[in-house]
Amino acid sequence: MSAGRWLDAGVVGAADAVAAGAVTAEALVGEALGRLRSDPHNAVLHVDGEAALEAAQQVDAARAAGEALGPLAGVPVALKDNLCQRGTPTTCASRLLEGWVAPYDAHVVERLRAAGAMLVAKTNMDEFAMGSSNETSAFGPVKNPWDPARAPGGSSGGSAAAVAARLVPGALGSDTGGSVRQPAAFCGLFALKPTYGRVSRYGLVAFASSLDQVGPFARSARDGARLFAAIAGRDGRDATSADAPSADWEGACARGVEGLRVGVPRALLEGASAGVRARIDAALEALKDAGATLVDVTLPHAKHGVSVYYLVAPAEASSNLARFDGVRYGLRVEEGGGLDAMYEATRARFGPEVKRRILLGTYALSAGYYDAYYLRAQKVRTLIRRDYDAAFEACDVVATPTAPTVAFPLGERTDDPLTMYLSDVYTLPASLAGLPAISTPAGLSEGLPTGLQLVGRAFDEATLFAAAGALEKAFGPLPSPVPAGPGEHAGEEGAS
């Protein structure tokens, strides 16, 4: 089998092939680099070819010497460009950091290296992770591999597009309010936002520190579980990192859902389009047929999720982004007139969406408005978490659509921020509650992917992988958005 076919076999397939000697890591990396350099989706900002090939040669030498290999040995993986990778540009898709090279590795990058992964590329994203369509990037929008006229979702749209287009078997993104789950739904992938604290934020450029988490993208539940297992774990450099026991997440994908109680907040489902709602109903029936029980639950405060998030997240962003002042990191614009003029000229290089959120956050934290806005939002955030606690007395997971619509056309919502923000209406409550949530493909509507979101109890990612694996078994793989080539790059076909 050619290197291209092994690359298309996914994370587990590629790793197992390298371990068995069916393909070399160098051949896999070479194939991935060729695809990345011809990327037609604007998914990639930087390709790290020389370092990746050198790492691949080391894996091949270790195998030839009979040494034990890591669970991701030889597997090409892409990183969202807000994750620091030593010696590699880290721009956050912003002109403010254009050309800045990270002097150290993020914790998740350290763990990927330890697992044997080949770090081949940094992916495009919404600027500083602020956006729901990957259109706020200073380097142009990412195109959805299913339809280049449509958005891939945001803010991790580049990572999602790279995996969906089979440029790489797996990738990492960050999720603050839905930024791995919503792109996964738009691009037909599996993606997990872990429990807050499950994965270290060390080396992740901060957007909203009480919300940010790193999560994997993959084309199967098992692939996602293997990536997650590689990056999860306690890190003393992150004060919010939790010392929580790990689990056999990969094994959970085959566990089944017999006896699983799936909570359905039916009032919330009414906000989805007819096509998405039909696919969600089909997914719920598939889980029921596999042995799960559907129970009605309510999340009365979830409707306030958008309002709460767009007070809390911008407030934290206004504080976190104060460090980009022309003195400490990245760009410095000197225009005369003293320090204040330098600050103003430098920070003027932020894009419109980043400026909007900094202004919103600064206003919410200002004297006279803190109690009325930010403090009140935090109180409602607590109520949202309590709603989930009450729901989990009757169920094991809560199911909703991941996004209310399929991928929308590029440019359709750029002039209407509120409509854009509503793209994350289903993902925001779980983020505010700090709970794990997975997006799993739910079939096609209008010829485009849809996603079912499952939210679980804190640190119970295993149950989410079990449900995702059962749904994957019931539906089969989505057809590939990538056209078949001459023996290469032709994705598996399956039911939709």
| Cβ neighbours, 10 Å, residue 255 | 16
Given the residues 94, 133, 179, 496, select the one marked as catalytic: 179
Cα–Cα distance measured from residue 327 to residue 165, given in angstroms and rounded to the nearest whole number: 39
CB 177 within 8 A of CB 313: yes
CA atoms within 13 A on the CB side of 236: 0
User: Where do we find the tokens 């399929």?
Assistant: 406
Active site includes 80?
yes
Cα–Cα distance measured from residue 159 to residue 206, given in angstroms and rounded to the nearest whole number: 18
Given the residues 155, 200, 431, 496, select the one marked as catalytic: 155
Between β-strands 170-175 and 118-123, what pairing exists: parallel, antiparallel or unpaired?
unpaired
Active site includes 220?
no
CB 47 within 8 A of CB 81: no
Given the residues 80, 122, 143, 193, select the one marked as catalytic: 80
Q: Which strands sit side by side in the sheet containing 448-456, from one edge to the other?
A: 44-47, 118-123, 76-80, 170-175, 213-218, 190-193, 437-445, 448-456, 397-401, 261-264, 293-296
Secondary-structure percent of the chain, ordered helix, strand, coil, rounded to 5: 40, 15, 45
Residue 377 tokens read as: 């939002």
Cα–Cα distance measured from residue 351 to residue 93, given in angstroms and rounded to the nearest whole number: 10
Cα–Cα distance measured from residue 172 to residue 150, given in angstroms and rounded to the nearest whole number: 22
Residue 118 has φ and ψ, to the nearest 5°, of: -100, 110
CA-to-CA dists, residue 23 to 6, 12, 20, 131, 492, angstroms: 8, 13, 8, 39, 19
Cα–Cα distance measured from residue 463 to residue 435, given in angstroms and rounded to the nearest whole number: 13
Active site includes 179?
yes
Which H or E run includes 295?
strand 293-296
Radius of gyration of the chain (CA): 21
CA-to-CA dists, residue 117 to 8, 72, 189, 242, 345, angstroms: 16, 5, 20, 24, 40
Residues classed as catalytic: 80, 155, 179
